[in-house]
Amino acid sequence: MLTETAGSGRVEAEERRKVRRSWLLSAPALTVLFMAASGPLLIVLVYSFLEPAEYGGVVWKFSDEAWFKVVFQRDIFDGTLSFADAHLMILWRSVRIAFLTTLTTLAFGFPTAYFIATRPASDRNIWLFLITIPFWTNLLIRTFAILEVIRNEGIINTGLKLAGIIDQPIQMLYSDFAIMVGMTYVYLPLMVLPLYASMERLDFRLVEAAYDLYASRLAVLRRIIVPLVKPGIVAGSILVFVPALGAYVTPRVLGGGKNMMLGNLIELQFGAGRNWSLGAALSITLLAIVMIVLLFYVRAVQRASEARQ
Amino acid sequence: MQALDDVSVTIRENEFFTLLGPSGCGKTTLLRLIAGFDQPTRGTILLQGQDISHLPPYQRSVNTVFQSYALFPHMTVAENIGFGLEMLGKPKSEVRETADRMLKLVRMEELRDRRTDQISGGQQQRVALARALAPRPKVLLLDEPLSALDYKLRKEMQIELKRLQSETGITFIFVTHDQEEALTMSDRIAVMHAGKVLQIGSPREIYDHPADRFVADFIGDTNFLMAEVLASDGRQVRLRLASGPEIAVELPENRSASGRVTVAIRPEHARLAPDGAALNGTLENIVYLGTDTHYHVRLDGGEAFVVRNQNRRDSTEALQAGAPVGIAFEPDSVQVLRD
């Protein structure tokens, strides 16, 4: 009896040690996460409530001016208040472009993922490998490649001119359209991969069963495939929307100076604008939008898993 | 690769028709062609005189009960059952009423709002049946639907399926590799092997008058003996068995025989006889099986022969292995097989 108790006590201690050890294993990651994410974020949050120093940096004096400026602007002469049109425009453009990019990547990614998932199992890895090839090169280089394609003397315009279809080049570069093209290209793999993961698990016998029960192709897509791969659609949308909202390189290269997005605006405030506080407030705003989107995501996942149980 | 070769089958209305064969014989391929999941490279499929060979599955009045059931996991039991009618554009009230009626038919009323992964395998089977029956198809296809169930449940569902078929009056085409299942449920059976239909007939015809060696071997147990045709007069032929005796047998319709043939005798159609025996041999083994006893006999000609004897309460075991025995049978229990 006594030995048994002692034995189980030993086992318990061993279990506890194991749990402690597994915590220790995640310590490096947690440390990096804290130092690289949570810490700086806290600093940014604090900075957003301080006064900007004249040549960059902050003065340690409380001020809500930066937050005020995110939404409003004061006339230099008579001090009247009005909405900060420029900021709101950029905010709106960022959300719109990120949302449209999510839609276009979904539109292109869904058939792609479906195609890969319906290939023989041995061929799927090759297709997935091809999807990941763009990741081999730097984002900036990929973006310049797009620039080379759509600029006025680029491949498309030159080709159309040589074919005699147009006399004057079509202005595609430095527009929201150019940003969309670039972002769709850059973020497409992020949509395809989670979609594929969902579709690979899809039991295609259910698709057959639906056809058998008089469902047309469209009805099968709407009633069977989309509901069953919804987790993949949601995950892919988040993976595209979040970085697209804060995109910096693509709008900078393809949008030119005029078509700024939030990322560029923030960079401007920390750089040439020399208003670190406003930059910090804008950063937190961006974070807040992302948080709201993630909240919807968590809700959707919860509903999906509840429905599954 | 050719999965089906010159298959021609006519299935009658309101019939319980079974495609029976080992795995890889082409029975599932035939079913998928009828359902419309696959397209035939040659030949036609007629449904009530109308060519449906190249219609997509959703335009055929044919529904399938899948081996895996393939119930929609994101829908309730009732939603699954109503899906077909909904897709046919029936009004909501009709969809609901039919779903309720179907639930009653398969005795699942109390589970109507359950999710399909919250019910047992046997219940899923019933839902799959109800879902396929709800749109009242002209033909119901069943692809080995009972293979995932345990023995007792399978027995229950065999009777249940038969009841559903007669209550609904829908033509059932049932695919199985289980000969017992085929014999108990079917009006007619088509025995398939290597992409060909070997024989079509009622369970009794198939069992009592197998057309060839494969059918005789696949369904039930059989003794095969070599024989030589001595004389034939229409369907009446005289044979000499390789092991000695001459017998007169009647051939099935449209069958002729000449030269060397194989004959089949069911173990239960033969008996051990002390005298007047047609065949003689040595008793090698006695296998007691509860309901009956199998006597394994080595014939004097060297062939193996099994005699099955139903056990009675008062029967006593007098025979010993190694004893010489005689085997007797009626001439009409001898089946001449196609080469």
Report the candidate in A156, A147, A150 with the shortest Cα–Cα distance to residue A250: A147
Min Cα distance B152 → chain A (Å) is: 27
Distance CA B2, CA B26 (A): 9
62-81 in chain A: CB under 8 A from chain B: none
Distance CA B52, CA B139 (A): 13
Query: Is residue B37 less than 8 Å (CB to CB) from chain A?
Result: yes
Q: Exposed e or buried b for every residue in B186-216, given b needs 16+ CB within 10 A? A: bbbbbbbbebebbbbbebeebbbbbbbbbbb
* A214 → closest Cβ in B70, B72, B135: B135
Min Cα distance A193 → chain B (Å) is: 23
Task: Give per-residue pLDDT as tens, B260-308.
Answer: 888 999 999 998 887 667 888 889 999 988 888 899 999 888 889 999 9
Residue B232 pLDDT greater than 90, yes or no: no
Q: What is the C-alpha end-to-end distance of chain B, expressed in Å?
A: 26
ipTM higher than the 0.90 cut: no
Q: Do B58 and A228 touch (CB under 8 A)?
A: no
User: Minimal Cα distance from B79: which residue of A?
Assistant: A223
Tell me the one-letter amino acid at B69. Y
What average pLDDT does the segment A13-24 reach? 76
What average pLDDT does the segment A150-161 reach? 90
CB A289 within 8 A of CB A238: no
> Domains along chain B?
16-213 (3.40.50.300), 221-336 (2.40.50.140)
Residue-level pLDDT at B308 = 92
Distance CA A58, CA A48 (A): 9
Neighbours of B264 (CB within 10 A): 22
Q: Do A205 and B84 touch (CB under 8 A)?
A: no
Min Cα distance A111 → chain B (Å) is: 21
CB B295 within 8 A of CB B210: no
Tell me the one-letter amino acid at B26. G
Q: Residue A170: beta bridge partners?
A: none
Task: Retrieve residue B237's tokens.
Answer: 């032929």
What average pLDDT does the segment B93-99 reach? 94
pTM for this model (two decimals): 0.78
Tell me the one-letter amino acid at B89. G
Distance CA A189, CA A53 (A): 42
Q: Exposed e or buried b for every residue in A197-215, given b needs 16+ CB within 10 A? A: bbbbebeeebbbbbbbbbb
User: Where do we find the tokens 């034939």?
Assistant: B232
What average pLDDT does the segment B239-267 reach? 82
Q: Do B73 and A216 touch (CB under 8 A)?
A: no
Report the candidate in B249, B72, B262 with the shortest Cα–Cα distance to residue A212: B72
Task: Retrieve residue A160's tokens.
Answer: 């159309």
Residue B55 pLDDT greater than 90, yes or no: yes
The average confidence (pLDDT) of chain B is 89
Task: Retrieve residue B212's tokens.
Answer: 């060839």
- Between B309 and A9, name the one with better pLDDT: B309
* B74 → closest Cβ in A205, A219, A228: A228
